[in-house]
Amino acid sequence: MLEATPSTRLFPNFAGDALKTWVFHNRVTLVGDAAHTHGGAFAAGGSLAIDDAYALSLALNHVWPAWKAQDGKPSSQDLATILSIYEKTRQPHINRVLSVVKQQVVGRRGAEEETDAELVARIVNRMDPSWISEHDVEGSFVAALTEREEEVALTNAKVVERKIKQMPQANL
Protein backbone atom coordinates (compact mmCIF):
# COMPACT_ATOMS: atom_id res chain seq x y z
CA MET A 1 0.00 0.00 0.00
CA LEU A 2 2.86 2.37 0.82
CA GLU A 3 4.42 1.64 -2.59
CA ALA A 4 1.14 2.55 -4.31
CA THR A 5 0.80 5.89 -2.53
CA PRO A 6 1.88 8.59 -5.00
CA SER A 7 2.64 11.24 -2.36
CA THR A 8 2.18 12.04 1.29
CA ARG A 9 1.47 15.42 2.84
CA LEU A 10 2.22 16.06 6.48
CA PHE A 11 0.00 18.46 8.37
CA PRO A 12 1.64 19.70 11.55
CA ASN A 13 -0.46 20.10 14.63
CA PHE A 14 -0.31 23.27 16.64
CA ALA A 15 0.84 22.98 20.22
CA GLY A 16 0.90 26.17 22.23
CA ASP A 17 3.03 27.15 25.18
CA ALA A 18 1.63 26.78 28.68
CA LEU A 19 -0.42 29.79 29.75
CA LYS A 20 0.48 31.53 33.00
CA THR A 21 -3.17 31.61 34.00
CA TRP A 22 -6.46 30.20 32.78
CA VAL A 23 -8.52 32.53 34.98
CA PHE A 24 -9.37 36.06 33.92
CA HIS A 25 -10.81 38.79 36.17
CA ASN A 26 -11.76 36.07 38.69
CA ARG A 27 -14.88 35.44 36.62
CA VAL A 28 -13.89 33.50 33.50
CA THR A 29 -11.76 30.41 33.07
CA LEU A 30 -10.51 28.37 30.16
CA VAL A 31 -11.14 24.61 29.99
CA GLY A 32 -9.89 21.89 27.64
CA ASP A 33 -8.05 22.85 24.47
CA ALA A 34 -8.77 26.52 25.12
CA ALA A 35 -6.60 26.26 28.25
CA HIS A 36 -3.96 23.91 26.88
CA THR A 37 -3.39 23.40 23.18
CA HIS A 38 -1.30 20.28 22.93
CA GLY A 39 -1.87 19.74 19.24
CA GLY A 40 -3.59 16.39 19.58
CA ALA A 41 -0.43 14.74 20.83
CA PHE A 42 -1.03 11.39 22.51
CA ALA A 43 -4.74 11.63 21.52
CA ALA A 44 -5.42 12.99 24.99
CA GLY A 45 -7.56 16.07 24.28
CA GLY A 46 -10.85 14.49 25.31
CA SER A 47 -9.55 12.96 28.54
CA LEU A 48 -7.78 16.18 29.52
CA ALA A 49 -10.97 18.18 28.96
CA ILE A 50 -13.01 15.70 31.00
CA ASP A 51 -10.47 15.93 33.84
CA ASP A 52 -10.68 19.75 33.63
CA ALA A 53 -14.47 19.59 33.92
CA TYR A 54 -14.23 17.18 36.84
CA ALA A 55 -11.71 19.39 38.66
CA LEU A 56 -13.92 22.42 38.10
CA SER A 57 -16.93 20.53 39.49
CA LEU A 58 -14.92 19.45 42.56
CA ALA A 59 -13.93 23.07 43.21
CA LEU A 60 -17.49 24.29 42.67
CA ASN A 61 -18.97 21.69 45.02
CA HIS A 62 -16.31 22.38 47.64
CA VAL A 63 -16.79 26.16 47.74
CA TRP A 64 -20.44 26.41 46.76
CA PRO A 65 -22.20 23.09 47.48
CA ALA A 66 -25.69 22.36 46.15
CA TRP A 67 -27.40 23.35 49.41
CA LYS A 68 -26.01 26.88 49.02
CA ALA A 69 -27.55 27.17 45.55
CA GLN A 70 -30.93 27.74 47.18
CA ASP A 71 -29.61 31.08 48.42
CA GLY A 72 -28.90 32.36 44.91
CA LYS A 73 -25.65 32.86 43.05
CA PRO A 74 -22.12 32.41 44.40
CA SER A 75 -20.44 35.59 45.56
CA SER A 76 -17.59 37.15 43.60
CA GLN A 77 -15.20 35.84 46.26
CA ASP A 78 -16.69 32.33 45.99
CA LEU A 79 -16.28 32.40 42.23
CA ALA A 80 -12.66 33.59 42.49
CA THR A 81 -11.91 30.80 44.98
CA ILE A 82 -13.57 28.15 42.79
CA LEU A 83 -11.57 29.19 39.74
CA SER A 84 -8.32 29.44 41.69
CA ILE A 85 -8.72 25.93 43.13
CA TYR A 86 -9.58 24.55 39.68
CA GLU A 87 -6.46 26.11 38.18
CA LYS A 88 -4.23 24.89 41.04
CA THR A 89 -5.68 21.40 40.62
CA ARG A 90 -5.06 21.04 36.89
CA GLN A 91 -2.24 23.35 35.86
CA PRO A 92 0.75 21.37 37.21
CA HIS A 93 -0.31 18.23 35.32
CA ILE A 94 -1.10 20.13 32.14
CA ASN A 95 2.21 22.00 32.25
CA ARG A 96 3.98 18.63 32.48
CA VAL A 97 1.98 17.34 29.49
CA LEU A 98 2.83 20.43 27.44
CA SER A 99 6.50 20.10 28.35
CA VAL A 100 6.57 16.51 27.08
CA VAL A 101 4.66 17.50 23.93
CA LYS A 102 7.18 20.22 23.25
CA GLN A 103 10.10 17.81 23.71
CA GLN A 104 8.67 14.92 21.71
CA VAL A 105 6.43 16.45 19.09
CA VAL A 106 7.22 20.08 18.52
CA GLY A 107 10.95 19.45 18.81
CA ARG A 108 10.79 17.23 15.70
CA ARG A 109 9.56 20.03 13.43
CA GLY A 110 12.03 20.72 10.69
CA ALA A 111 13.87 17.46 11.39
CA GLU A 112 15.11 15.52 8.42
CA GLU A 113 12.72 12.93 7.05
CA GLU A 114 13.27 9.65 8.88
CA THR A 115 13.53 6.24 7.35
CA ASP A 116 10.95 3.55 8.05
CA ALA A 117 13.44 1.83 10.37
CA GLU A 118 14.01 5.07 12.31
CA LEU A 119 10.27 5.64 12.62
CA VAL A 120 9.70 2.10 13.90
CA ALA A 121 12.57 2.49 16.40
CA ARG A 122 11.14 5.82 17.62
CA ILE A 123 7.69 4.28 18.10
CA VAL A 124 9.01 1.16 19.85
CA ASN A 125 11.17 3.24 22.22
CA ARG A 126 8.65 5.98 22.98
CA MET A 127 7.62 6.73 26.54
CA ASP A 128 4.48 5.24 28.04
CA PRO A 129 1.89 8.05 27.81
CA SER A 130 -0.64 6.43 30.16
CA TRP A 131 0.24 8.93 32.93
CA ILE A 132 -1.35 11.65 30.80
CA SER A 133 -4.87 10.25 30.88
CA GLU A 134 -4.60 8.41 34.20
CA HIS A 135 -4.04 11.56 36.23
CA ASP A 136 -5.37 11.49 39.80
CA VAL A 137 -7.63 14.55 39.68
CA GLU A 138 -8.98 13.98 43.19
CA GLY A 139 -5.47 13.70 44.65
CA SER A 140 -4.43 16.89 42.87
CA PHE A 141 -7.59 18.58 44.14
CA VAL A 142 -6.73 17.71 47.75
CA ALA A 143 -3.16 18.96 47.21
CA ALA A 144 -4.50 22.20 45.71
CA LEU A 145 -6.79 22.71 48.71
CA THR A 146 -3.90 22.13 51.11
CA GLU A 147 -1.69 24.57 49.20
CA ARG A 148 -4.47 27.18 49.18
CA GLU A 149 -5.10 26.78 52.92
CA GLU A 150 -1.38 27.25 53.59
CA GLU A 151 -1.33 30.40 51.43
CA VAL A 152 -4.37 31.80 53.24
CA ALA A 153 -2.85 31.04 56.66
CA LEU A 154 0.41 32.73 55.66
CA THR A 155 -1.44 35.79 54.36
CA ASN A 156 -3.49 36.00 57.56
CA ALA A 157 -0.34 35.71 59.69
CA LYS A 158 1.27 38.56 57.74
CA VAL A 159 -1.81 40.74 58.23
CA VAL A 160 -1.79 40.10 61.99
CA GLU A 161 1.95 40.78 62.18
CA ARG A 162 1.51 44.08 60.30
CA LYS A 163 -1.33 45.14 62.61
CA ILE A 164 0.77 44.33 65.68
CA LYS A 165 3.62 46.46 64.32
CA GLN A 166 1.20 49.33 63.74
CA MET A 167 -0.10 49.24 67.33
CA PRO A 168 1.28 51.94 69.59
CA GLN A 169 3.95 50.55 71.88
CA ALA A 170 3.20 50.82 75.60
CA ASN A 171 5.85 52.57 77.65
CA LEU A 172 7.09 50.23 80.30
Average pLDDT per 10 consecutive residues for the chain, totaling 172 residues: 69 72 95 86 86 97 90 92 96 90 67 80 83 90 94 89 84 55
pTM listed for this prediction: 0.76
Residue 17 counted as domain residue: no
Quote the CA–CA distance of 32 and 12 in Å, as a whole number.
20
Distances (CA, A) of 52 to 41, 43, 85, 88, 125: 17, 16, 12, 11, 30
Residue 46 counted as domain residue: yes
Q: What is the pLDDT of residue 105?
A: 65
Q: What is the pLDDT of residue 43?
A: 80
Specify the number of domains making up the chain. Answer: 1
Residue 69 counted as domain residue: yes
Residue 112 counted as domain residue: no
Residue 7 counted as domain residue: no
Q: What is the pLDDT of residue 10?
A: 59
Q: What is the pLDDT of residue 138?
A: 96
Q: What is the pLDDT of residues 55-95, one digit of tens each?
A: 999 999 999 998 888 888 899 999 999 999 999 999 999 99
Residue 4 counted as domain residue: no
Domain residues for the domain of 94 are 23-105+132-164
